[in-house]
Structure formats: C-alpha cells, structure tokens
C-alpha cells in the first residue's frame, strides 16, 4: 500500500505553523515506514514550504501543494460568485478566516485565469512535484446555503450553457417546488456515484454541472501539466459526488491519483455522516424513515440502524458510517478509475468534527485494504493526529 500524508498549514489569510512542528510530526512517520507523498497547504508562507521541500527531498518523498480551487481562492482574488435560481448571487461570509467555503462560479473563464494566477504568484517558485486540487466542486447540501447552494449556477455564462443544452430552467424551478421531489426523486443508486432520478430535469441538471466541472478542471489540469506537475484530485465519496457536480470516474482521467474522502466518522464537510444528514435535511427531513429509505436505496444493509444517528451530537453516536458499503464504493471506483485510488481516511482529531480512535483506524484500514485501492491518504492534518492514531496506522502499514 502506498501512503500519502496530508498537512494543513492554515488558510490563505490564516496564520501559519512553525516548521519545527511539521518536521517533528513528519519524522514520527517517515522514520518508521515509507511515505510516498506529502500534501501540504495552503497558507502563503514560502519559507515554510521551502524548508519542508528540503526535508522531503532528503527522504525521497514527493511533495504536493494542497491547493483549493473553486473555494478559498476568493480570499486572494475577486472572483465571480455562484448565482442561485432566483438570480441572487451567493456572496462570501466572514465566518472563518482559515476556511470560508465560499464557492465561485467554476464555469467562468476569468475565475479560472485568476485561480491559476494565484498559484503562479504564490507557489510557482517552490519546488513541488505536484499539486493536489481540492474544492473542485459546487457547494454540497452541507454548505451554508443548503439547497440554494446546490441548485446553482445561474449566472449569464451558465445560463448560456443551459440554453445550448436545451435545458428547461423553468421546469427545474417547478420541480423544486413539487412535493414529489422529496429526496430529489431519487429512484435507484446505480453505483459509482450515479443515480436514477424520477424527474429527467433533475438528472440533466446534475449532468450539466458535472460537465462544467470536468471541462474547467481539464483546463486547469492542462495548465499544471504544461509546467510538468503531477496532479492529485480530492473528491467526495462516490454516492455524494453527484450532488456536487463531480463525475469522479471521468475526473480520474485527468490526474495521477484520486482521493475519495471516505470519512466514516467525520461530522464536517465531506464527512459521510455529516453530508448524508445534510442531504436528507435539505430534501426530505432526517426522520428515521427517511434514513431507512435512503440507506435502502444505497444498498446499506437493513440491520444498520438509522437510530444510531445522534442529531444532538451531529454524528453517528456509537457507530461510524457502514463499512461494507464504503468498501463497495471504493471497490467499484477502483475498477472504473483511470488512475490509482488512494482512500482518504481521517486520522486527525478535531473538536466537534472528527474523533477517530485506534479501533476505528484499524477497522477502516483493514477493510479498505481489501477494496482494490492502490493506497491511503492519511487525512486531513498530520499536525492534529494524536500519537496513538499514528502508532496504529504505522503498525497496520508495517505488518
Ligand atoms: Zn455560473
């Protein structure tokens, strides 16, 4: 198994971290087993990246810049926002200086040029082997704007695309008010992120969004390819990817590795319990019957009790997201993917967001190892990984 480690150094406008801390944490891994890649970002702190580059090159480890694309970049450049179906733009909030989750329109070519400029101005002189592209999507149901953020974008550029595809925007608006639209009118889960919908207008809408993300990403990847960078992509778990505009199988053809975030116990963006709750919340409600209905549709075994979900704590109280289902997701993706799949698992502990312990790490790594994947990405921040979690991971990868 190949092992990649992720380090979060703070947002574009956030405070950075001391190199000594990165060094100490990294050595606790790399002195004990082979790490193939380190992904680090995205504070604007050139000396920190340079010192880390020297350390990694000494240990023959590939170095990737963790670079958010359609969100966060708004902190450094003025980007055109997403526009909702009522015609109002979704503007930035000032909640968190490190991560704002404000998304710009991925279809706007000026946005794309400004995003690549951000790389060029801040990171191009540092010796990275590659870039790891994150936030390559639209907002999910868990985003601050909920459903309003998912049913975007209706800016003039995007409307042009809908027209050229003969997509009926008025019909979409009608469907959004239809009571039959409960749980998006999902009929069947076909696997690898694809669903059958009751209403054709909904499936075409998500299809157009997937195309927009794909073609914009193609341009961005071309920019990095020309500069000889390797490329990794951070994507949602397959069953959630559809609602964010990600066709992950197709996207896997653009890069050198793909990291589906298979966070079974994370109650923060991309976490499976968190995103599932938000999807239900925004489309039908989080009553037990709706959980049962959705889990049945996904093929999660019926004995899996939706009641284990604890609304108070915002997570699955005693039980992380179903492991057999997540293994199947990884297995199906590995068969179809055009590049190696590195499963993303959460090793760090972050208050109110993720509390994995060694038992969870053991269960997850052992199960995912049988899914046909090429490796793991230990996520999402080495600096918040407790020693006992690191020890468990080291023990499993060394055995
Ligand atoms: Zn747009």
Q: How far is the CA of 219 from the centre of ligand 1 (A)?
A: 16
Q: How far is the CA of 151 from the centre of ligand 1 (A)?
A: 11
State how far the alpha carbon of 310 is from the alpha carbons of 102, 241, 268, 287, 332, in Å. Answer: 28, 24, 15, 11, 29
Q: How far is the CA of 174 from the centre of ligand 1 (A)?
A: 20
Q: How far is the CA of 263 from the centre of ligand 1 (A)?
A: 30
Return the domain boundaries, the chain.
2-398
Q: How far is the CA of 323 from the centre of ligand 1 (A)?
A: 37
Q: How far is the CA of 208 from the centre of ligand 1 (A)?
A: 12
Q: How far is the CA of 113 from the centre of ligand 1 (A)?
A: 15
pLDDT of residue 330: 98
Three-state SS at 199: coil
Q: How far is the CA of 216 from the centre of ligand 1 (A)?
A: 12
Q: How far is the CA of 91 from the centre of ligand 1 (A)?
A: 13
Q: What is the mean pLDDT of the chain?
A: 93
For 237-243, what is the mean pLDDT? 97
For 349-354, what is the mean pLDDT? 89
Q: How far is the CA of 154 from the centre of ligand 1 (A)?
A: 5
Residue 315 predicted with pLDDT over 70: no
Three-state SS at 188: strand
User: E strands, 241-392, where?
Assistant: 257-260, 309-310, 315-316, 342-346, 375-379
Q: How far is the CA of 306 from the centre of ligand 1 (A)?
A: 37
Residue 327 predicted with pLDDT over 60: yes
Helix axes 387-398, 358-368, angle to 10 degrees: 30
**Per-residue confidence band for 58, with pLDDT thresholds at 50, 70 and 90:** very high
16-25, 65-74, 140-149, 311-320: least confidently modelled range: 311-320
pLDDT of residue 351: 87
CATH of span 2-398: 3.20.20.80
Q: How far is the CA of 72 from the centre of ligand 1 (A)?
A: 17
**Dist CA 286 CA 274 (whole Å):** 12
Q: How far is the CA of 92 from the centre of ligand 1 (A)?
A: 15
Q: How far is the CA of 200 from the centre of ligand 1 (A)?
A: 21
HSE, CB side, 13 Å, CA atoms: give it for residue 201.
13
Q: How far is the CA of 237 from the centre of ligand 1 (A)?
A: 24
Q: How far is the CA of 353 from the centre of ligand 1 (A)?
A: 31
């Amino acid at each position: 198994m190949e092992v990649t480690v992720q380090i979060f150094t703070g947002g574009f406008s956030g405070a950075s971290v001391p190199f000594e801390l990165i060094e100490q944490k990294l050595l606790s891994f790399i002195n004990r087993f082979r790490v193939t890649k380190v992904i680090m970002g995205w504070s604007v702190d050139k000396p920190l990246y340079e010192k880390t580059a020297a350390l990694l090159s000494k240990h023959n480890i590939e170095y990737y810049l963790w670079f958010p694309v359609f969100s966060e970049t708004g902190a450094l450049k003025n980007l055109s926002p997403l526009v909702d179906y009522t015609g109002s733009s979704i503007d930035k909030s000032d909640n968190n200086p490190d991560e704002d989750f404000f998304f710009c329109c991925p279809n706007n070519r000026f946005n794309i040029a400004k995003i690549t400029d951000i790389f060029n101005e801040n990171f191009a002189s540092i010796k990275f082997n590659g870039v790891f592209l994150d936030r390559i999507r639209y907002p999910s149901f868990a985003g601050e704007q909920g459903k309003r953020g998912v049913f975007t974008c209706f800016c003039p550029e995007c409307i042009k695309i809908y027209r050229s595809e003969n997509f009926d925007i008025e019909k979409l608006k009608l469907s959004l008010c239809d009571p039959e639209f409960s749980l998006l009118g999902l009929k069947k889960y076909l696997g690898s992120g694809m669903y059958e919908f009751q209403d054709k207008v909904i499936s075409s809408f998500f299809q157009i969004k997937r195309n927009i993300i794909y073609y914009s990403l193609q341009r961005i990847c071309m920019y990095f390819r020309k500069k000889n960078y390797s490329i990794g992509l951070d994507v949602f778990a397959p069953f959630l990817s559809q609602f964010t505009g990600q066709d992950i199988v197709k996207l896997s053809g653009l890069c050198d590795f793909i990291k589906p975030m298979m966070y079974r116990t994370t109650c923060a963006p991309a976490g499976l319990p968190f995103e599932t709750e938000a999807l239900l919340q925004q489309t039908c409600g989080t009553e037990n019957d709706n959980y049962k209905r959705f889990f049945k549709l996904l093929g999660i075994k019926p004995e899996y009790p939706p009641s284990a979900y604890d609304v108070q704590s915002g997570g699955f109280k005693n039980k992380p997201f179903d492991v057999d289902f997540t293994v199947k997701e990884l297995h199906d993706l590995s068969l179809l993917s055009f590049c190696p799949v590195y499963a993303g698992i959460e090793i760090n502990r972050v208050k109110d967001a993720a509390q994995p312990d060694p038992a969870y790490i053991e269960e997850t790594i052992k199960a995912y190892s049988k899914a046909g994947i090429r490796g793991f990405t230990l996520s999402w921040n080495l600096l918040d990984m407790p020693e006992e979690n690191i020890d468990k991971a080291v023990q499993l990868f060394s055995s």
